[in-house]
Amino acid sequence: MLDGDLAVSSLTRLHDALTESSGTLIYHVEGDVGCDGRSQLSLAIGGSLSLCCQRCLEALDYPLDLHSLLEFVDDEHDLTQEELEDDSRDFLPNQKELDVVELIEDEILLALPTVPRHDSCRLPAGSDAASGKVSPFSVLAATRRQA
Ligand SMILES: [Zn+2]
């Protein structure tokens, strides 16, 4: 069992998605052995990240409350179809040394929304025209308004 906290600034692979890298996350890792004799690791991660809203480009507070169950296998080819389709756990190849921070970073990356957005916010005035970029969503919304 392992409890600790992690500075967001140390999770460098997350930085592209963040508006700021201050703050800390807390984690809890617990090892166990599953009913089929495989090592398992349950991972809990909590805290909050400051993502960049893809609509208004302002900071978006994203609360993290992740719980993952990882199971270690000697050979991923041993897994049955049923196990592969089981969403309640993830499988990882057995490895001699486990980098917990890297695992935590992986889990967070998987959990982050690909297009983080506030529930309701506005595009910054003139930004689309200024950048020359138009999001497919805004085009769709405009089409709907005309219809
Ligand atoms: Zn926004």
| Cα 21 to ligand 1 centre (Å) | 19
Low-confidence ranges of the chain (pLDDT < 70): 126-147
Question: Is 143 contained in some domain?
Answer: no
Are β-strands 24-33 and 39-52 bridged in parallel, bridged antiparallel, or unpaired? antiparallel
d(CA 129, CA 49): 30
Q: Which residues of 68-78 are buried (b: 16+ CB within 10 A; e: fewer)?
A: bebbbbeeeee
Which runs of E-coded beta strand occur in 1-147? Answer: 2-7, 18-20, 24-33, 39-52, 59-73, 90-93
- Euclidean distance between CA atoms 61 and 88, whole angstroms: 26
Predicted confidence at residue 130, as pLDDT, reads 47
pLDDT computed for residue 143 by the predictor: 60
Contacts of 140 (CB under 8 A, 6+ apart): none
Distance 123 CA to ligand 1 centre (A): 7
Encode pLDDT of 81-120 as tens digits: 998 898 888 888 887 788 889 999 999 999 999 999 999 9
What pLDDT shows up at residue 90?
Answer: 87
Q: Is residue 133 part of a domain?
A: no
Residue 39 lies in a domain: yes
Q: Which domain holds residue 9?
A: 2-122
Q: Which amino acid is at 108?
A: I
Instruction: Give the separation between CA 93 and CA 23, rounded to whole angstroms.
Output: 31
Q: Considering the domain boundaries, does residue 146 fall inside one?
A: no
Number of domains composing the chain: 1
Sign of torsion over alpha carbons 26, 32, 38, 39: positive
Q: How far is the CA of 62 from the centre of ligand 1 (A)?
A: 12
